[in-house]
């Protein structure tokens, strides 16, 4: 009886093993997807937050120059809280969130002319606001020198193209162009400096 029971157990185990093996060789078999995200984007939000905190806690003379397409230019000293308010636009351009991260392609190259390592993130998905980011890192000090962000947004009545540039420890520039559906175009440029 024990022998019969042992043989029956072996037959069941072998038949289950054969079925499992057969299903992996079947042409309809699809292996499970591995969804672990192992790519690491440059932590720009931390960089911007650190820069903003430095300006907010150091007694810099901060000024802003705003230029419109009518070539009207307005230069004014601003407070650190106004600086923080304007600089928030950089923090809203985070592409490292998991939901959109896979839409961006990273490329890295060494530019001998500017002596920088350039990290580029770009997407072909026109529905995403941030279309392109360039990060330039000094190849000797490994410190970030510049960030260039190109954003693109379509609303019901206009297309808005925004170029955001940040120079580490010195200044930033936000250039916004609005092209309305009726063909009219307006642009505004805001330059903010604090340590020059």
Q: What is the pLDDT of residue 39?
A: 62
Torsion of CA 8, 13, 19, 25, to 10 degrees: -140
**Entry pTM:** 0.77
Q: Is the pLDDT of residue 20 over 50?
A: no
Q: What is the pLDDT of residue 132?
A: 97
Among 169, 166, 173, CA closest to 190? 173
Question: What DSSP string runs through 27-73?
Answer: TT--PPPP---------HHHHHHHHHHHHHHS----EEEEEETT--E
pLDDT confidence of residue 101 = 84
Higher pLDDT, 54 or 34: 54
Q: Is the pLDDT of residue 190 over 50?
A: yes
Of the pLDDT bands very low, low, confident and very high (cuts 50, 70, 90), residue 27 is: low
Task: Indicate the pLDDT class of residue 34, thresholds 50, 70 and 90.
Answer: very low
């Amino acid at each position: 009886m024990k022998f019969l029971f042992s043989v029956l157990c072996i037959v069941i185990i072998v038949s289950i093993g054969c079925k499992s093996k057969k299903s992996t060789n079947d042409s309809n078999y699809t292996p499970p997807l591995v969804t672990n995200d192992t790519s690491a984007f440059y932590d720009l939000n931390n960089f911007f937050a650190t820069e903003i905190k430095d300006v907010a806690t150091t007694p810099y003379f901060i000024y802003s120059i705003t230029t419109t397409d009518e070539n009207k230019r307005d230069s004014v000293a601003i407070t650190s809280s106004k600086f923080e308010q304007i600089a928030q636009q950089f923090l809203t351009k985070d592409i490292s969130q998991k939901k959109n991260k896979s839409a961006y392609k990273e490329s890295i190259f060494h530019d001998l002319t500017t002596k920088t390592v350039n990290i580029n993130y770009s997407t072909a998905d026109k529905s995403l606001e941030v279309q392109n980011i360039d990060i330039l890192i000094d190849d000797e000090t490994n410190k970030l020198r510049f960030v260039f962000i190109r954003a693109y947004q379509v609303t019901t009545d206009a297309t808005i193209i925004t170029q955001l540039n940040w120079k580490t420890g010195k200044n930033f520039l936000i250039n916004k162009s609005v092209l309305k559906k009726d063909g009219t175009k307006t642009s505004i440029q805001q330059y903010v400096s604090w340590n020059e």
